[in-house]
Amino acid sequence: MGKYELDSYTKKLEDKAEKLYEYDAAESLPQIISSFRGHGTALSEFLDTHGYPSYRGNSAEAKAEFLKEKFKDAGISAAKCRNALKWLTEPNAFERGTGFRIAFALGLSAVETDDFFRTVLLDRSFDCHTIEEAIYYYCIYHRKDYHTAEKLFSEAPVAGKTTVPAEGDVLYTKNIINYIRACSSEEELLCYFRENLQQFGYNQVKAKEFIRFLWDRISGPEGLAAREREYFPLQEKGSNPPDENSTWGIYLQILGLSFDVERIETDRSIRPLLENPEFMHQFAAENYPTRQSIEKLIRGETVKHDLTRKTLLLLAFYHFWIDLALSQTGMMSYEAGEFDRERCLNELDQYLLDAGFPEIYAGNPYDWIFLWAAGREAPLTAFRYYWQLLSAEYSERISLA
């Protein structure tokens, strides 16, 4: 598949997000959910535009052999590529370490590696606030081989895990990247690690700052969530409503699930609603933001990149639309204005990029939910409609069990 078709895949998903109305969601979502690519298909199509010769055919076996050859040419152990066929045939068959080795094998630049992680793994690429991935970045940016990376791994110091400092100097990832780009030797890089070792015990600094900022704006006594409850009273609270000022209560409010939470049947978790592959893609459900993850990130603890990014996106989306609704003169409304969708998406992208994450991508099933909701007449209402659909589906499942 060439670049035109790859763009076509994304364009089709963007078109579906634009044209799907709430009243069609229950009927159309299963087909849309099933159309997202897994890692295997995405990797196969990425190879087509990054060195795989079309004359060898389009079989997974042929592409697996191609990858093994590229690994060998790059001096990477054959053992690291023994699951190549699995990578190409399963939806979720490899993780970050394999992704970086594929980048070395294909001779990708740093920019191409960013694109590979964004479109194939649906994840950020280099987290240069960890020593291992800072080494990957140094080697790929400066066009060093995989052997150099392995040598640096063996010589680099090991940083212990810590939370983001509440006070004092914080080493931002942007500063690390700038240093690595200017770094002239491997010894200089190792010295930098040793001199700043404690600073490599935490990561996701900017993302956590944004999450704290957004949560403070949302959750405070006069915050956006409290003001929403004042000006847009909830129609239904159910028989066992949560404490509306708690993390759990505000979390449910954001999702539009502040009704009888006994339906969920678990302790302050929406996990049962996520276990619905017809209406919630596996990649969207994995690492979905939770009450616990919000609290961990506010404390500065490290969680998976995907979970941090998803939490940031969720809070930024709610913040944008409820702030807009509450700032309207005259009668307050959830409805979007003519240019508000583009303003929202630009703001979300800016948060993501400033925090070191890839911008919104229609081929990411989690991102697609926000693209779809942002295009509706009342985006926050549409987003909550989606969750209410998941809740109704869950209720129907347990009633039939």
Q: Give residue-wise pLDDT tens across range 44-85.
A: 999 999 999 999 999 999 999 999 999 999 999 999 999 999
- Residue 3: predicted pLDDT: 42
Any domain includes 96: no
The residue from 202, 233, 254 where one domain ends is 202
Q: Are residues 168 and 261 in the same domain?
A: no
Any domain includes 255: yes
Predicted confidence (pLDDT) per residue in 104-156, tens digit? 999 999 999 999 999 999 999 999 999 999 999 999 999 999 999 999 999 99
Nearest-10 Cα torsion for 257, 262, 264, 265: 160
- Residue 331: predicted pLDDT: 78
Q: Are residues 198 and 209 in the same domain?
A: no
Q: Are residues 241 and 133 in the same domain?
A: no
Predicted confidence (pLDDT) per residue in 320-340, tens digit? 999 999 998 777 899 999 999
Any domain includes 341: yes
- Residue 266: predicted pLDDT: 57
Q: Are residues 361 and 292 in the same domain?
A: yes
Considering only residues 370 and 232, tell me which one the structure prediction assigns the higher pLDDT.
370
- Residue 2: predicted pLDDT: 43
Q: Are residues 234 and 377 in the same domain?
A: yes
Judge whether residue 5 has pLDDT over 50.
no
How confident is the model over 160-173, as a mean pLDDT? Answer: 80
Burial class, 248, CB count within 10 angstroms (exposed 0-12 / middle 13-18 / buried 19+): buried
367, 361 in Cβ contact below 8 A? yes
Q: Are residues 181 and 209 in the same domain?
A: no
Q: Are residues 266 and 319 in the same domain?
A: yes
* pLDDT classification of 1: cutoffs 50, 70, 90: very low
Predicted confidence (pLDDT) per residue in 372-395, tens digit? 999 999 999 999 999 999 988 888
357, 295 in Cβ contact below 8 A? no
Any domain includes 113: no
Any domain includes 78: no
Q: Are residues 316 and 335 in the same domain?
A: yes
- Residue 4: predicted pLDDT: 37
Extract the tokens encoding 224. Answer: 């956006």
Number of separate domains in the chain: 2
Judge whether residue 39 has pLDDT over 60.
yes
Predicted confidence (pLDDT) per residue in 229-285, tens digit? 998 876 566 666 678 889 999 999 999 987 655 666 556 788 889 999 999 999 999
Any domain includes 88: no
Residues in CB range of 225: below 8 A, 6 or more apart: 218, 219, 244, 250, 253, 254, 322
Q: Are residues 194 and 209 in the same domain?
A: no
Q: Are residues 171 and 217 in the same domain?
A: no
Judge whether residue 354 has pLDDT over 90.
yes
The residue from 140, 167, 202 where one domain ends is 202
Any domain includes 312: yes
Any domain includes 12: no
- Residue 260: predicted pLDDT: 54
Q: Are residues 168 and 241 in the same domain?
A: no
Q: Are residues 196 and 255 in the same domain?
A: no
Considering only residues 6 and 203, tell me which one the structure prediction assigns the higher pLDDT.
203
Enclosing domain of residue 347:
205-400
The residue from 168, 202, 236 where one domain ends is 202
| Mean pLDDT of the residues in the chain | 92
Identity at 225, one-letter amino acid code? A
